[in-house]
Structure 1
Amino acid sequence: MFKPCILIPVYNHEHAIAAVVQAVLTHEVDCVLVDDGSSAECAQVLQGLQAATPDRVTLLRHDINQGKGAAVLTGFRYAAQTSYTHLLQIDADGQHCVADVPQFLAQAKTHPQAVIAGYPVYDESVPALRLYARYLTHVWVWINTLSLAIRDSMCGFRVYPVDAVIALMSRQNIGRRMNFDTDILVRLYWDGAAVINLPTRVAYPTDGVSHFRVWRDNVLITIMHTKLFFGMLLRIPSLLARHWRSQPEVGK
């Protein structure tokens, strides 16, 4: 059985979220919104979206802001309770290409145990500093997985198998803010999940709102990479064995 839902974590994106939800609903997949302690104005917009299509849109809410990762994890708990098999995560600010949803879901249906991870194809709106800074995380991810299997660990447009994430959540604390996307993808790779990388167009962003907090989030990301590095050291034998198993035999 393949039963996907689309999850959108939302924090004060009242100017962009309606267009994102409308685009998502054209793909005939249920939509789950997680209001991560948004303002009253944004909460009202979200309530209106849910009321307009109650059979297609579910609205979950945090009383206070807990972070993007926490909102996505709340969505995973709901997805598991509601028997969804896969969860497609997409951002609320309109930066992701919703037209790519069918392609991502088709890959997830064909490879149900894999993570289908988007890697960005940027237009001219991407800030140069952000573009260059991503490469530092890419290098650390390649080190912490001892592979190049993950092309981009920071893009929040991806499909997860719900059971694999629930199993990981049961034994591991996962980053709850802007450290979430990289943390969970590396740990799922460590758990044996395949990663299928798909290109997707990304623009920055339609409503001009960024919730990245330079000092707080950079500290959290640094701590995350440090923990992942020491976790990698403990997993060197299994990671190397996985790498060699994936290599074609000579002469084949």
Structure 2
Amino acid sequence: MSTPSSTHLVLIPSYNPGAKLEETVRGARAQWNPVWVVVDGSTDGSAARLQAMANDDPGLHVIVLSANRGKGGAVLAGLEAAAARGFTHVLTMDSDGQHPAALIPEFMAASHAAPEAMVLGLPKFDASAPQLRVHGRRLSNFFADFETMWAGIGDSLYGFRVYPIAPLKAIMNRQTWMRRFDFDPEAAVRLCWAGVRPIQIEAPVRYFGADEGGVSHFNYVRDNLLLAGMHLRLVSGFALRLPRLIGRRLLP
């Protein structure tokens, strides 16, 4: 895509992403303009590689954070910079090649058609997906559905999404803990609470093994504890918001 959008950009948070980074960025750039990458305190030399790419590509912009802030912190840095330049929406995708760049135009079109909504990827797993993670995410998805009275999030953990910037930035500035692995499910739930309608679109996800250049920073103990603490917060918030949520569901 050669003509840059003035409202929607692709935002890629990146921390030590491994060998798939350049391929991921090139794939995103082939589908959309502009693409921004937030280098989240990486120590693998990827910032220099990306800046070299950006020197030859005016559609690619690189933000380098001096210290690691976590996925949510990197996304927030991108949101703030994008809002300052007048953008209204970001499509977030991972830097490790797991998300389908070919679907960027479809997700952006859905967002343009319903700019008040968030467009959430509904992952379709293939044989590369670790079954422990596929089955384990069902518990988080159940709680996200419960906390929103089944508003239509679908999958709470899949980070291939289009967010409206203004409501997400406002939520994150109030909730200062939304900075790590638990960012994606909490963002979806709190946006639903704020009245942002979810739209689901099916999208494949691909897990790459180490022999294919895949890198995973997921820690089963640490990150599942983060998710458990997050859902405890959200269930408490759900109880306080229950009358409003019921009223919203009952209205035509």
User: Is the pair's TM-score, using the shorter chain for normalization, greater than 0.5?
Assistant: yes
Q: Find 1:208's aligned residue among 211, 214, 238.
A: 214
Pair 1:63-2:66 in alignment: yes
Query: What aligned pairs does 1:3-152 form with structure 2 within 5 A after superposition?
Result: 3-53=7-57, 55-152=58-155
Q: Distance in 1 between matches of 2:180 and 2:70?
A: 4
Cα distance, 1:167 vs structure 2: 2.3
Q: What is the letter of the counterpart of residue 10 of structure 1?
A: S
Cα distance, 1:170 vs structure 2: 3.4
Q: Distance in 1 between matches of 2:217 and 2:176?
A: 22
Cα distance, 1:3 vs structure 2: 1.2
From the superposition, tell whether residues 150 and 28 of structure 1 become closer, same or farther in structure 2 (CA, over 3 Å). closer
Q: What is the letter of the counterpart of residue 38 of structure 2?
A: V
Cα distance, 1:148 vs structure 2: 4.5
Find the residue that maps to 1:119 and give its secondary structure: strand
Cα distance, 1:2 vs structure 2: 6.2
Query: What aligned pairs does 1:210-229 form with structure 2 within 5 A after superposition?
Result: 210-229=216-235
Pair 1:167-2:170 in alignment: yes
Note if contact 2:10-2:93 (Cα within 8 Å) is conserved in structure 1: yes
Note if contact 2:71-2:180 (Cα within 8 Å) is conserved in structure 1: yes
User: What is the count of residue pairs matched by the alignment?
Assistant: 245
Q: Distance in 2 between matches of 1:128 and 1:166?
A: 33
Q: 24-33 or 105-114: which moved more?
A: 24-33
From the superposition, tell whether residues 57 and 194 of structure 1 become closer, same or farther in structure 2 (CA, over 3 Å). same
Note if contact 1:14-1:41 (Cα within 8 Å) is conserved in structure 2: no
Note if contact 1:14-1:45 (Cα within 8 Å) is conserved in structure 2: no
Using the size of structure 1 for normalisation, the TM-score is 0.93
From the superposition, tell whether residues 118 and 99 of structure 1 become closer, same or farther in structure 2 (CA, over 3 Å). same
Note if contact 1:141-1:150 (Cα within 8 Å) is conserved in structure 2: yes
Deviation per CA, 1:153-177, whole angstroms, max 9, x where unpaired?
Answer: 1101000111121222333325211
Match of 1:230 in 2: 236
Query: What aligned pairs does 1:159-198 form with structure 2 within 5 A after superposition?
Result: 159-198=162-201
Unpaired segments ≥5 residues, structure 1: 247-252
Note if contact 2:16-2:44 (Cα within 8 Å) is conserved in structure 1: no
Q: Distance in 2 between matches of 1:28 and 1:156?
A: 18
Note if contact 2:154-2:200 (Cα within 8 Å) is conserved in structure 1: yes
Cα distance, 1:98 vs structure 2: 0.6
Note if contact 1:112-1:161 (Cα within 8 Å) is conserved in structure 2: yes
Unpaired segments ≥5 residues, structure 2: none
From the superposition, tell whether residues 188 and 174 of structure 1 become closer, same or farther in structure 2 (CA, over 3 Å). farther
Note if contact 2:119-2:163 (Cα within 8 Å) is conserved in structure 1: yes
Identity rate of aligned residues, in percent? Answer: 37
Q: Find 1:154's aligned residue among 153, 157, 176.
A: 157
Q: Distance in 2 between matches of 1:229 and 1:49?
A: 44
From the superposition, tell whether residues 204 and 193 of structure 1 become closer, same or farther in structure 2 (CA, over 3 Å). same
Match of 1:249 in 2: none
Q: What is the letter of the counterpart of residue 129 of structure 2?
A: V
Note if contact 1:5-1:88 (Cα within 8 Å) is conserved in structure 2: yes
